[in-house]
Chains A and B, each alone.
Chain A
Amino acid sequence: MATIFQGLGAATALSASSMSNSFEAIKFHVPTRRSLSGRKASFFVVRSEGKMNPGSNQRTRRADQLITSAVATKSDGAAASTASKSGHELLLFEALREGLEEEMERDPTVCVIGEDVGHYGGSYKVTKGLAEKYGDLRVLDTPIAENSFTGMGIGAAMTGLRPIVEGMNMGFLLLAFNQISNNCGMLHYTSGGQFTIPIVIRGPGGVGRQLGAEHSQRLESYFQSIPGIQMVACSTPYNAKGLMKAAIRSENPVILFEHVLLYNLKETIPDEDYICCLEEAEMVRPGEHVTILTYSRMRYHVMQAAKTLVNKGYDPEVIDIRSLKPFDLHMIGNSVKKTHRVLIVEECMRTGGIGASLTSAINENFHDYLDAPIVCLSSQDVPTPYAGTLEEWTVVQPAQIVTAVEQLCR
């Protein structure tokens, strides 16, 4: 556990500084209490696909939007600037909890449903303290029946609540596949728009530290085909809180993928209210030579590899795609047009994963801009072994990323 977090600590500092380049922080107005019919959010959200600004870089884009004073830091973007007077430091699971708590405070229809989320505080402590504050009806402990409490969340969402369903581990949500696929994604459509399902389904997933095959599932590859749902993956405390809040406010069902190994990441986040756009990707490190697309935990392996690559003279552009469904093809496309080389680094398995879909999407849309075939680094098509060494070899390691970039940029 210790080693990876040291590495991550360094990577976090890197990402924290690039935080000042990101521009999702948007001031919002407190909306009125929602009623069952006709819920419209009354705040600004910038959606990436709506804006086609070819050739514009980050700075001109930033000028287009409303920015809070907290995020307008000095442009040298050193780590010191983020440790300024504004902002507070917390861990990723605390950031999730903070986002959750702020939304529960703001909107009385927000509730949490899951196993052990009440007094126990959740198996990763994301809901700690909420049951004491909001009561055990609003933070509801359920019996062990994932399909049923997901179905329950859907029923509650259709009649006016905004439930957040927590899967103790994402893998258990496979038991909820029927409700998620057949009802969650579908009922808004098949009812002709009469019933909306503003549900958030979240939980930790991904390959952890020797949790065994059943607890190391990457559900994003199984869910990506379901029409009607949105999928986002958080990777830093900043975007964890932002995405949690945005997901809760969204009228669509959103699945928020957290990673078991990222819960203890530490970062300073703004004190002000902010959300992250659900459909936007995040520019982690701008560069010129190659576009590396990644998300969740693999971001940190990529950033670690990026250090090595920079030392070797390469300039990789790292994008955390964050939005797994739909892809932010705008940011990705601009990057491809700039670098002409793409490397996808994911934790999903080779067959049918997010990388596979992303490869196909980029090939279809930006084929002319590619100087080389897209390289996709994924986990092997094997159940995750328990033995630590074997487990380490199933996920993509920084050394492989370095090799892949070297080969790609030859």
Chain B
Amino acid sequence: MAMIVGRSSRTSLIGNGYYYLRKKLGFLGVISHETSSPKYSSSTTPLFHPKPNGLWRFKATLAQTQLADHNKDVVDDQGLDFPGGRVTFTSDLTFISESTDKRVPCFRVLDDNGEPITHNYVQQVTKDLAINMYSNMVKLETMDTMFYEAQRQGRISFYLTTTGEEATNIASAAALSPDDVILPQYRESGVLMWRGFTLQEFANQCFGNIADYGKGRQMPIHYGSNKHNFITISSPIATQLPQAVGVAYSLKMDKKDACVVTFFGDGASSEGDCHASLNFAAVMEAPVVFICRNNGWAISTPIEEQFRSDGIVVRGQAYGIRSIRVDGNDALAVYTAVQKAREMAITEQRPMLVEVLSYRVGHHSTSDDSTKYRAVDEIETWKMGRNPLSIFRRWIERNGWWSDRDESELRSSLKKQVIEAIQVAEKTEKPSVAELFKDVYDHSPINLKEQEKLLRETMRRHPQDYPSDVRI
């Protein structure tokens, strides 16, 4: 309700709207009651139901909320119905502290040695699922390593790895259904891999050849696939967040049994779009699962320079969103948390916020050398000591589901597959000049047709100035 009051000063500037404003809005800017309820069709969720304020208690999967101790001086029956709900008064001049003594704890299932800390969530992961998850993590790591090498060799122009975040990628994807729409940022290729994108398809996009679904129009790692419900990656940070809310809106209108899952990093959490999307999603009760990959670094900006809050998880309550913090090195924890978040998002039609803590072991991208701004031993500690693959591997080996031989077979087979994918993609021809002008609109307007004609003529007249392997 408060938002209407805030806007009145703006709308009063607008000529026509002014007298309507005075007529419709009463004191305090509360919407006149005759418009607020039963006239709307019952199939839609009424947005202006007064909601009970206050804390909700849930099962142990939620992090504890910690308020400061100012409640002791609350005079209980003194309160007032301000816009937005009833608020009780206190005569104690205490500010809510900017930080709590203890940070929000992090949910994990396996310890650093892959030993289950609790057996509560372990049994739902079957052998097949576990092996599938692990194989995909290895596949992701292999693909990342070799494509990175390919960039260094000059075969592709750019690459970006998910090193250190394989568990976040694969385990979160494993917890979703194929109908859930994914809006990625750019460090989530594992999610697409889980859904069935082949190594060849990845390579095709990176090489920008005719088999690329993006038709060679985007830079490498900007994957997108309609059939996998994976929206094409767009470089600017956090633009996918409001779009995720829009997709959830679309799902809500269609009443689908699916949710939207969107990923963003610690750096993206500073963007205005991040704030607004979380806010929107909460107001609209949109079934979006916001997964924040807090990996400690935004190119060269460390967490301390990005925000001063206790990570992203604490912001959930600020928006009225249920949130949890998860250990990103623990695939089982990520799997369990995302699965539960998804369930709550769909059954309760609400947004969820999952903060996954991890570490960006690799450089930001091939255009970056992170040793310039961080200590090499910091990188090594995480790489060796808290590797998500090793942790998970220890667990599946302990269960008798995996052996050293399986490991070496898998790795050598994958290495061959990746090499082959790269080689095939490299040899595949690039899109023709016609693709430069298509899909800007549904049908090419006259100016684009002219420009295409002009380009072709120029290419025909001066073939030596243009790459010979591109078809005219």
Residue A242 lies at the interface, judged by CB distance under 8 Å to chain B: no
Using a CB-CB cutoff of 8 Å, which residues 205-251 of chain B contact chain A?
Answer: 212-215, 217-218, 222, 224-226, 231-232, 234-236, 239-251
B-side contacts of A137, CB under 8 Å: 44-45, 47, 249, 252-253
Report yes or no: A159 in contact with B181, Cβ–Cβ below 8 A.
yes
Report yes or no: A178 in contact with B236, Cβ–Cβ below 8 A.
yes
A179-191 CB contact bits vs B (8 Å, 1 = yes)?
Answer: 1001100111111
Residue A154 lies at the interface, judged by CB distance under 8 Å to chain B: yes
A323-366 CB contact bits vs B (8 Å, 1 = yes)?
Answer: 00010010000000000000000000000000000000000000
Count chain B residues whose beta carbon lies closer than 8 angstroms to a beta carbon of A.
74
Asked whether A192 and B183 contact (CB < 8 A) given A119-B36, A151-B242, A186-B234, the answer is no
Residue A313 lies at the interface, judged by CB distance under 8 Å to chain B: no
Report yes or no: B239 in contact with A121, Cβ–Cβ below 8 A.
no
Asked whether A168 and B250 contact (CB < 8 A) given A125-B20, A132-B39, A182-B234, the answer is no
Report yes or no: A143 in contact with B283, Cβ–Cβ below 8 A.
yes
Report yes or no: A120 in contact with B24, Cβ–Cβ below 8 A.
yes
Of A208-216, A285-293, A400-408, the one contacting chain B is: A208-216
A-side contacts of B283, CB under 8 Å: 143
A63 CB to closest chain B CB (Å) equals 23
Report yes or no: B41 in contact with A140, Cβ–Cβ below 8 A.
no
Q: A1–B14 Cα gap in the complex (Å)?
A: 14
Of B5-13, B356-364, B402-410, the one contacting chain A is: B5-13
Q: A151–B286 Cα gap in the complex (Å)?
A: 15
Of B78-86, B271-279, B308-316, the one contacting chain A is: B271-279
Choose one: A157, A182, A193, A194; the contact of B236 (CB below 8 Å). Answer: A182
Choose one: B11, B234, B276; the contact of A183 (CB below 8 Å). Answer: B234
Residue B97 lies at the interface, judged by CB distance under 8 Å to chain A: no
Asked whether A151 and B243 contact (CB < 8 A) given A159-B181, A187-B232, A192-B224, the answer is yes
Residue B15 lies at the interface, judged by CB distance under 8 Å to chain A: yes
Residue B254 lies at the interface, judged by CB distance under 8 Å to chain A: yes
Report yes or no: B234 in contact with A160, Cβ–Cβ below 8 A.
no
A-side contacts of B276, CB under 8 Å: 143, 145, 147-148
Report yes or no: B226 in contact with A152, Cβ–Cβ below 8 A.
no
Report yes or no: B273 in contact with A148, Cβ–Cβ below 8 A.
yes
B404 CB to closest chain A CB (Å) equals 42
Report yes or no: B253 in contact with A189, Cβ–Cβ below 8 A.
no
Report yes or no: B232 in contact with A191, Cβ–Cβ below 8 A.
yes
Report yes or no: B7 in contact with A144, Cβ–Cβ below 8 A.
yes
A93 (CB) vs chain B CBs: closest residue: B16
Report yes or no: B250 in contact with A148, Cβ–Cβ below 8 A.
no
Choose one: B24, B41, B275, B441; the contact of A252 (CB below 8 Å). Answer: B441
Using a CB-CB cutoff of 8 Å, which residues 298-314 of chain B contact chain A?
Answer: none
A150 (CB) vs chain B CBs: closest residue: B242
Q: A138–B240 Cα gap in the complex (Å)?
A: 22
Report yes or no: B44 in contact with A208, Cβ–Cβ below 8 A.
no
Asked whether A145 and B280 contact (CB < 8 A) given A137-B252, A190-B217, A252-B441, the answer is yes
Choose one: A125, A136, A145, A227; the contact of B40 (CB below 8 Å). Answer: A136
Report yes or no: B35 in contact with A119, Cβ–Cβ below 8 A.
yes
Using a CB-CB cutoff of 8 Å, which residues 415-462 of chain B contact chain A?
Answer: 438-443, 445-447
Residue B467 lies at the interface, judged by CB distance under 8 Å to chain A: no
B39 CB to closest chain A CB (Å) equals 5
A-side contacts of B60, CB under 8 Å: none
Q: A163–B245 Cα gap in the complex (Å)?
A: 13
Report yes or no: A135 in contact with B232, Cβ–Cβ below 8 A.
no
Q: A183–B254 Cα gap in the complex (Å)?
A: 24
Asked whether A191 and B273 contact (CB < 8 A) given A143-B3, A169-B14, the answer is no
A153-167 CB contact bits vs B (8 Å, 1 = yes)?
Answer: 111111111010000
Question: In the complex, which range does the number of interface residues on chain A fall in?
Answer: 35 or more
Report yes or no: B15 in contact with A151, Cβ–Cβ below 8 A.
no
Report yes or no: B445 in contact with A326, Cβ–Cβ below 8 A.
yes
A-side contacts of B44, CB under 8 Å: 135-138
Q: A149–B43 Cα gap in the complex (Å)?
A: 23
Report yes or no: B250 in contact with A190, Cβ–Cβ below 8 A.
no
Residue B400 lies at the interface, judged by CB distance under 8 Å to chain A: no
A-side contacts of B213, CB under 8 Å: 191-192, 194
Asked whether A329 and B280 contact (CB < 8 A) given A161-B250, A195-B231, the answer is no
Report yes or no: A326 in contact with B447, Cβ–Cβ below 8 A.
yes
- Name the residue in A124, A193, A230, A263 with the highest tally of chain B Cβ atoms < 10 Å from its Cβ: A193
Using a CB-CB cutoff of 8 Å, which residues 115-140 of chain A contact chain B?
Answer: 115-116, 119-121, 123-125, 131-132, 134-138, 140
Report yes or no: A147 in contact with B441, Cβ–Cβ below 8 A.
no
Asked whether A155 and B273 contact (CB < 8 A) given A189-B440, A326-B445, the answer is no
Report yes or no: A329 in contact with B446, Cβ–Cβ below 8 A.
yes
B200 CB to closest chain A CB (Å) equals 16
Choose one: B46, B215, B243, B245; the contact of A158 (CB below 8 Å). Answer: B243
Report yes or no: A182 in contact with B239, Cβ–Cβ below 8 A.
yes
Asked whether A134 and B447 contact (CB < 8 A) given A142-B280, A144-B7, A194-B226, the answer is no
Report yes or no: B214 in contact with A190, Cβ–Cβ below 8 A.
yes
Asked whether A163 and B41 contact (CB < 8 A) given A121-B20, A136-B46, A188-B439, the answer is no
Report yes or no: B272 in contact with A147, Cβ–Cβ below 8 A.
yes
Identify the 8 closest CB pairs spanning chains A and B, nearest first: A155-B246, A151-B242, A155-B243, A152-B246, A145-B276, A148-B276, A191-B232, A156-B246
Query: A interface vs B, CB < 8 Å?
Result: 1, 37, 47, 49, 109, 111, 113, 115-116, 119-121, 123-125, 131-132, 134-138, 140-145, 147-161, 163, 168-169, 178-179, 182-183, 186-196, 208-209, 211-212, 215, 227-228, 230, 250-252, 260, 263, 279, 326, 329
Known: A192-B224, A195-B232. 17 other contacts (CB 8 A): A123-B11, A135-B43, A145-B276, A148-B242, A148-B272, A148-B280, A155-B250, A159-B251, A182-B235, A183-B239, A183-B243, A192-B215, A192-B232, A211-B14, A212-B13, A252-B442, A260-B15
Sample 5 A-B pairs with CB under 8 A, ordered by A number.
A136-B46, A143-B3, A154-B243, A183-B234, A192-B215
